């Protein structure tokens, strides 16, 4: 059975691109348009990794990450930030919240595949 990745981004284009590229690698992909949507979709799901944007309406990526880290079920879940914010302050903030990788947009398919492969194996 393949691994499941939750992709959280308010851009439909980013969600679609990430979904297609990760699905082609054998992953099951769940998408959410912001942190609130992600938290609503998580119950009952087994998620192996989260890829999240930072700037989103309703609940931003940092709030989502904080909520995940406060939940025992998700406290050790690998999280990758995918954002246009390239400054060191946001990178350090992500690191302090236990984020595993930080990818700056624009990004390549290869970059996402490389970062994901560091934390979960490609699906069979």
Taking only the tens of pLDDT, the chain with its 124 residues reads 589 999 999 999 999 988 988 988 889 999 999 999 999 999 989 999 999 999 999 999 999 999 999 999 999 999 999 999 999 999 999 999 999 999 998 888 888 888 999 999 764 4
- Number of Cα atoms under 13 Å in the Cβ half of residue 97: 26
What CATH architecture is 4-117?
A: 3-Layer(aba) Sandwich (3.40)
What residues does each domain of the chain span?
4-117
Instruction: Please say whether the dihedral angle defined by the alpha carbons of residues 15, 93, 44 and 118, taken in this order, is positive or negative.
Output: positive
Using one digit for the tens of pLDDT, what is the confidence trace for 54-87?
Answer: 999 999 999 999 999 999 999 999 999 999 999 9
What is the reported pTM? 0.93
Phi, psi (deg, nearest 5) at residue 122: -60, 145
Please give the angle made by the CA atoms of 48, 76 and 41, to the nearest 5 degrees: 50
Contact, 35 vs 64, CB < 8 A? yes
């Amino acid at each position: 059975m393949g691994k499941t990745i939750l992709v959280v981004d308010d851009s439909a284009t980013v969600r679609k691109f990430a979904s297609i590229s990760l699905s082609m690698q054998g992953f099951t992909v769940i998408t959410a348009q912001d942190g609130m949507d992600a938290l609503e979709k998580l119950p009952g799901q087994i998620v192996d990794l989260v890829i999240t944007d930072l700037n989103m309406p309703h609940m931003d990526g940092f709030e989502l990450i904080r909520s995940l880290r406060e939940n025992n079920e998700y406290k050790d879940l690998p999280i990758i930030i995918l954002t246009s914010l390239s400054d060191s302050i946001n990178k350090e903030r992500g690191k302090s919240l236990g984020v595993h990788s930080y990818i700056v947009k624009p990004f390549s398919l290869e970059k996402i595949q490389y970062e994901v492969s560091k934390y979960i194996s490609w699906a069979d």
